[in-house]
Amino acid sequence: MSTEKTALRPCPVCGKRQAEILTTMRYAVPEGFPLPAESDIVSCLDCGMAYADTSGTQADYDRYYTNFAAYETPDGTGSGVKEDDARRLEESVNWLAARIGAKDARIIDIGCAQGGLLKALARRGFSSLSGIDPSACCVEQIKTLGFSAWQGHFDNLPSESEKYDFIISTQVLEHVLDTHGAFCALRKLLAPGGKIYVEVPNAARYHNGKDTLPFQEINQEHINHFDITHMEILCASHGFTVTDVYKNQYNVLGVLLTCGGGTSSSCCQKDKTRLKQILSTYILESQQRMYEFSEKIRGKSVALWGAGARTQWLLAAPVWNETKIEAIVDRDPRKQGKRLAGCVIQSPEAGLRHLPDDTLIVITPLLYAEEIKNDLAGLKTGYPSFVWIDEVRIGKP
């Protein structure tokens, strides 16, 4: 079987459609879920960019982010509420503050979520701060903090918005279907002489030795997998030059952009093909860890805590033909009552009662694993539980 195809979605970097399939991701999706249950992860034959060849439309993704995503939770990623998140924010804000310049520079954060970054900039004395987010709830929250805010995203920026000296977009571009549209939108918002900071997960660091999290970075939300080479090619094609690069231990890749410079990047063929090799290794090792997880639950009775993206991916594994799912529970009331893999998603209180004595509870979300462990301890169910990733982390002896 040939692994080459004409992609459904053009390459987010070069726009071509000839691609090589690296793997096919499958998900068990709840009823009413707007995103496809299957998509190929491909490598562009022309430029080597790795991306999800999704059949989902922008409208599907908009519906997903409005109704299913978890960014609205007050202590979610980017809010700066949790200790780890706060430290990550502080580090990147230190780096940014040294590069923004004047304290009255007009700054906007696109995809500002709960405003963690804006708050951190305000604490450093920056006075002209605005945010844009697709979530109405986040926008209201930002306004109560005293910042200007609009509801919108790259393909729907408010016309009343003015020009900005410093545009920030962190952890957004990896989610964007139309990357070229996003850069056109950025250009429109940028004041003459202004700078743009774009930050994405660094695909070159997906495989991270013993701390690698299997398929953590390849999911229904992350549809573009950038390394520095492909970020530079994309930026150059829109007339932007990368003038500075930010990397940290959380495996982010941040680039500072200014207008001007060539329309093509100077990277060589070897740079372009490296990303495919990295992704292929990551996928192979992730599949191996998935196999190990499958062996732990094969033939058992299992209850799953968490009905989000991780669970949807775990549930697509063949092992469930030999494993009995006793319950799926989640604290998110928007998920409760929906059907997933033949189970009605319930609250933990309702779903974790009267299960067979030998039921194993598998905790699937990583971001909230500690809270869930405490939550579960409080419920005193008596069933043994484990966080699936703790058991199968790549390289763990």
In the chain, which ranges are E strands?
4-6, 18-26, 38-44, 50-53, 106-110, 128-133, 148-151, 164-170, 190-201, 224-225, 240-247, 252-259, 301-305, 324-329, 339-340, 343-344, 360-363, 385-387
> In whole angstroms, what is the distance from residue 225 CA to residue 12 CA?
10
Helix (H, G, I), strand (E, B) or coil at 234: helix
> In whole angstroms, what is the distance from residue 301 CA to residue 366 CA?
22
Q: How far is the CB of 225 from Zn ion (least distance, A)?
A: 12
Q: Mask: binding to Zn ion, 156-175, rule CB under 5 A, as x and -?
A: --------------------
Q: How far is the CB of 217 from Zn ion (least distance, A)?
A: 19
Instruction: Indicate the DSSP class of residue 264.
Output: S
Q: How far is the CB of 17 from Zn ion (least distance, A)?
A: 9
> Residue 80: which region, alpha, beta or left (left: phi > 0; alpha: psi -120 to 50)?
left
Residues 28-47 binding Zn ion (CB under 5 A) are 44, 46-47
Q: Mask: binding to Zn ion, 300-319, rule CB under 5 A, as x and -?
A: --------------------
Q: Where are the alpha helices (DSSP H) in 260-316?
A: 269-297, 309-314
Contact 117, 172 (CB under 8 A): no
Q: How many residues at the interface with Zn ion, by CB under 5 A?
A: 7
Contacting residue, 7, 14, 29, 50, with Zn ion by CB under 5 A: 14
Which segment (7-15, 18-26, 65-73, 124-132) binds Zn ion by CB under 5 A? 7-15
Q: Which is nearer to Zn ion, 11 or 172 (CB)?
A: 11
Q: Which is nearer to Zn ion, 51 or 383 (CB)?
A: 51
Which residues are CB-neighbours of 217 under 8 A, at least 6 positions away?
201, 203, 206, 225, 282
Q: In which element (H, E) is residue 182 found?
A: helix 179-189
Q: Which is nearer to Zn ion, 11 or 185 (CB)?
A: 11
- Backbone CA torsion sign across 92, 309, 50, 291: positive
Q: What are the tokens at 324?
A: 């009995």
Q: Which is nearer to Zn ion, 51 or 313 (CB)?
A: 51
Q: Which is nearer to Zn ion, 25 or 44 (CB)?
A: 44
Contacting residue, 28, 42, 49, 200, with Zn ion by CB under 5 A: 49
Residues 227-266 binding Zn ion (CB under 5 A) are none
Contacting residue, 7, 9, 11, 165, with Zn ion by CB under 5 A: 11
Q: Which is nearer to Zn ion, 66 or 273 (CB)?
A: 273
Q: Which is nearer to Zn ion, 14 or 341 (CB)?
A: 14
Q: In which element (H, E) is residue 65 found?
A: helix 58-67
Q: How far is the CB of 91 from Zn ion (least distance, A)?
A: 32
CA angle 66, 91, 364 (to 5 degrees): 45
The answer to the question of residue 91 lying near Zn ion (CB under 5 A) is no
Q: How far is the CB of 245 from Zn ion (least distance, A)?
A: 21
Q: How far is the CB of 11 from Zn ion (least distance, A)?
A: 3
The answer to the question of residue 52 lying near Zn ion (CB under 5 A) is no
Q: How far is the CB of 38 from Zn ion (least distance, A)?
A: 22
Q: Which is nearer to Zn ion, 237 or 286 (CB)?
A: 237
Which segment (48-56, 110-118, 179-187, 198-206) binds Zn ion by CB under 5 A? 48-56
Q: Which is nearer to Zn ion, 59 or 268 (CB)?
A: 268
Helix (H, G, I), strand (E, B) or coil at 372: helix
Q: Which long-range contacts (CB under 8 A, 24 or more apart) does 345-351 make?
A: 345/30, 345/307, 348/305, 348/375, 348/376, 348/379, 349/379, 351/303, 351/327
Q: How far is the CB of 57 from Zn ion (least distance, A)?
A: 20
Binding site for Zn ion (CB under 5 A): 11, 13-14, 44, 46-47, 49
